[in-house]
Amino acid sequence: MLRQVRGELTLEAAGDWVIATAPGLDQRIRDLPVAPGLKTVTIDLAGIGRLDTAGAWLLRGLHDRLAASNLSISYSGVQASHRPLLDQVERVQQGTPVTVTPPSHLVEIAERTGEATVNFGREAVAMVGFLGLLVVRLGGVILRPRRLRWTSVVYHMEATGLNAMPIVGLLSFLIGLVLAYQGADQLRRFGAEVFVVNLVGISTLREMGVLITSIIVAGRSGSAFTAQIGTMKVNQEVDAMYTLGLDPAEILVLPRMLALLITLPLLTFYANVVGLLGGALMSWVELGITFSSFLSQLQSAVAVHHFWAGMIKAPVFAAAIAMVGCYEGLQVTGSAESVGRLTTQSVVVSIFLVIILDAIFSILFSKIGI
């Protein structure tokens, strides 16, 4: 709102001077009559509510129009919150270079840390919501098993389990060799070479077997889940499912999650066996411990609860890997860059989550004496 108070030579600006009201205000400024004989004009800004850059430029245009008539202009009632914006527009209008002081490195680090923390919190909340959605969909499939696409489950079991056996077996075998070699090198100094069997057996069954397998699956199958679903998002196939009334969580996510829930424990058992075989081979080569002696010492030193302590983790790790991989795939926005970025993020988050869960299991087992 713009009014001219007669006899006081004062222009009162009121209301909101924002981009939404700019066309009307600009027209009123153009139509404002300038009475002859005026020398000074006071522009009262006390009545202005909201002010943005468009409104500040309109006030500057009013100032320039009055100044063109050789009038002396002054301002009154300028609010403290509006002063920086008006000063900035005036400096730009006069051609004064605007100097921007770059923030210090500490401020940048704090800003990036805060932004990363906020994004992590939002991601965690969204992922918990996605987990709840999967639990609901899984309950519906349990009540109506015909809704589950068993062909897709079997296909993903082959892709995530059977096809992963060579790389899982190779790495587990090498881990067993390394554990036995390093253990033998240290325990030989104390004449306790036979305890290499204890070291290899407990570390493989409790931790290394399931952990190495989960990390391999996260990098191999979890990333594949993200890339597959992300490509479907780019090709608008997921949007087509919504259009047809189909549920992508039930069609795309549940078969992958169930397949991984089945195959990861089996892969963990396979990795345990191959890892122990590698440890036994190195014990025979390095220490002369025969396979029969290795098995005898393994049976007497390693209780069965060590085996189950590792196997219990496998389904939990499988659910976490499948959930993260599918969730990140559904977050793809529609570009190849997004697919690559979220695939990388899927692997990082999956491995991070697996290690956090493993630490939680270790603390829990320690508290209950397992």
Helix/strand/coil (H/E/C) assignment for every residue in 246-281 = CCHHHHHHHHHHHHHHHHHHHHHHHHHHHHHHHHHH
CB neighbour class for 349 (10 Å; exposed up to 12, middle 13-18, buried from 19):
buried
Q: Domain locations in the chain? A: 2-94, 117-368
Q: Which residues pair with 17 in a beta bridge?
A: 51
Q: Quote the CA–CA distance of 214 and 257 in Å, as a whole number.
A: 14
Total residue count of the chain as it appears in this document: 370
Cα four-point dihedral sign 238, 242, 247, 251: negative
* pLDDT for the residue numbered 185: 83
Q: Quote the CA–CA distance of 147 and 247 in Å, as a whole number.
A: 11
* pLDDT for the residue numbered 2: 44
Whether the Cβ atoms of residue 255 and residue 141 lie closer than 8 Å to each other: no
Q: Which residues pair with 73 in a beta bridge?
A: 41
* pLDDT for the residue numbered 320: 94
Whole-number Cα distances in Å, 24 to 1, 21, 31, 250: 9, 6, 11, 54
Phi/psi of residue 141, nearest 5 degrees? -70, -35
Q: Quote the CA–CA distance of 78 and 84 in Å, as a whole number.
A: 10
263 closest CA partner among 151, 163, 138, 147:
163
User: Which CATH superfamily is 2-94 part of?
Assistant: STAS domain (3.30.750.24)
Phi/psi of residue 38, nearest 5 degrees? -75, 145
Query: What is the token pair recorded at 70?
Result: 């050789």
Whether the Cβ atoms of residue 81 and residue 48 lie closer than 8 Å to each other: no
Q: pLDDT, tens digit, for every residue of 4-53?
A: 445 456 777 788 888 888 888 888 777 777 666 667 778 778 888 888 88
Whether the Cβ atoms of residue 261 and residue 311 lie closer than 8 Å to each other: no
Q: Which residues pair with 43 in a beta bridge?
A: 11, 75
Residue spans of alpha helices (H) in the chain = 22-30, 53-67, 83-94, 105-143, 150-160, 165-187, 196-203, 209-217, 223-234, 237-243, 248, 254-287, 291-301, 304-311, 313-330, 336-368
* pLDDT for the residue numbered 38: 66
Which regions in the chain score pLDDT beneath 50?
1-5, 7
57 closest CA partner among 24, 106, 97, 92:
92
Q: pLDDT, tens digit, for every residue of 273-305?
A: 999 999 999 988 888 888 888 888 888 888 888
